[in-house]
Structure 1
Amino acid sequence: MFRSGKGAAMAVDDGFRDRSVLVVEDEAFTRMVLVRMLSGMGFAAVHQAADGAAGLAAVAEHRPDLILCDVEMQPMDGFAFVRALRAEGDRALAVLPVLFMSGRADAERLAEARASGADAILPKPATPDALRRALAERLAVRAAG
């Protein structure tokens, strides 16, 4: 964020302006906080889903540019969500960036995430700066690939 001379906050353009993101998170408060942070970053659209099954339906409906997904959800956790997403057979979904959020972001959890088809893990709770960097990195990797 930077401030103009009049003190009004303005979003830094990280290439989010023409992008959409889907938040898949079962905790309503956490989902609301993430939606507000992402909206403040300038995303064109921020979609949300309360679990993995609703996330799959939201992907089909909205075709987001990237997904921010909790790992530990019920009844379908983040690992099952990503495996189902990648199994769709759609090339666009096979490369759709998925960034997991987890209170546990150690090497073992990262290996599990990658094995399921996720791209990276962002430790919870996510700060706005860490979230911005991680999302910008995932979009840059997708654009380069």
Structure 2
Amino acid sequence: MSESELRRIKVLLVDDEPFIRLTIRQILIQIGIPPSNVYEAENVKAAVGETLRVRPSVVLCDIHMPGDDGFAYVATLRTAPLPDVAAIPVVMLTSDSGEEAVMTAKGHKVAGYLVKPVSIGAVKKAIERALKVILP
């Protein structure tokens, strides 16, 4: 993927923890995604609004958040009446490595599953797989 293509990738981070969002934002910038293309939401309601507004290339979403969880977000996304929105790839980014959570994620047809803490390489590979591209 060229640098100009990389600069067009838009990522939505969905996590209730500001520190996690900051950490992942820094990883995305190190990968080469411009800071202006990294969007954030602290809960599912905000995430749905940002998704419709921004139309991200990929979403990195926590599972456990106050109120609705990340699976509720993915379910909402997958049933969106807009095909381009319903098809946005989602990578779960969570501290939950339990079998039930992993199986639920698979049932929601997520594009990836990362267990926190994550490395730059793991985030890069997950985005590459989700977008089916190779990042520089």
TM-score range, shorter chain: 0.7 to 0.9
Q: Which residue of 1 aligns with 2:31?
A: 41
Instruction: Provide the C-alpha distance between the structure 1 equivalents of 2:97 and 2:7, rounded to a whole number of angstroms.
Output: 29
Higher mean C-alpha deviation, range 60-69 or range 96-105: 96-105
Instruction: Provide the C-alpha distance between the structure 2 equivalents of 1:117 and 1:89, rounded to a whole number of angstroms.
Output: 17
Give the structure-1-normalised TM-score.
0.81
Instruction: Provide the C-alpha distance between the structure 1 equivalents of 2:131 and 2:51, rounded to a whole number of angstroms.
Output: 17
Q: Secondary structure at the match of 1:114?
A: helix
Instruction: Provide the C-alpha distance between the structure 1 equivalents of 2:55 and 2:121, rounded to a whole number of angstroms.
Output: 25
Give the structure-2-normalised TM-score.
0.86
Tell whether the 8 Å contact from 2:52 to 2:85 is kept in structure 1 after alignment: no
* Number of residue-to-residue matches in the alignment: 130
Q: Indicate which of 56, 80, 87 corresponds to 1:88.
A: 80
Instruction: Provide the C-alpha distance between the structure 2 equivalents of 1:121 and 1:104, rounded to a whole number of angstroms.
Output: 10
Tell whether the 8 Å contact from 1:105 to 1:121 is kept in structure 2 after alignment: no
Structure 1: unaligned runs, 5 residues or longer: 1-11
User: Superposition pairs for residues 59-78 of structure 1, below 5 Å?
Assistant: 59-78=51-70
Instruction: Provide the C-alpha distance between the structure 1 equivalents of 2:95 and 2:72, rounded to a whole number of angstroms.
Output: 18
Q: CA deviation at 1:74?
A: 1.2
Structure 2: unaligned runs, 5 residues or longer: none
User: Superposition pairs for residues 1-145 of structure 1, below 5 Å?
Assistant: 16-44=6-34, 45-140=37-132
Structure exhibiting the larger radius of gyration computed from Cα positions: 1
Superposition CA RMSD, Å: 2.0
Q: Percentage identity across aligned positions?
A: 29
